[in-house]
Amino acid sequence: MITVTGTFTVKKNKIEEFQTGTLELQNASLNTDKGCIEYKFHQQQDAPENFFVYEIWDEMASLELHGASQHFNKFSKLLEGNLDKELDIRIYNTI
């Protein structure tokens, strides 16, 4: 199992658009991606332009398939030009 986290900061006039877009990606990933165990987006309480995603995958191959999926590519397009702080992706192992 691998855990993936992602943090990014969106332009303040885009927050609502990302609330919709993140939920779309979240649902599509959980419902259609093989090996997707957890996929949960969050917004920082005191800074709603800061988004965070916590994902758990059964193996790396599943994550790679996800990266090539239509729903992930759609979200990647939404990110383009709409970020104030770049996407920071990290891959973890649980201890």
Interface contacts to a copy of itself, rule CB under 8 A: 2-3, 5, 19, 22-23, 26, 40-46, 50, 52, 54, 90-95
Closest CB 32 distance from a copy of itself, rounded Å = 19
Residue whose structure tokens are 């259609």: 32
Residue 82 makes CB contacts below 8 A (sequence gap 6+) with 10, 11, 14, 17, 18
* Interatomic CA distance for residues 15 and 48, integer angstroms: 7
Closest CB 10 distance from a copy of itself, rounded Å = 12
Of residues 22 and 29, the one with the C-beta less far from a copy of itself:
22
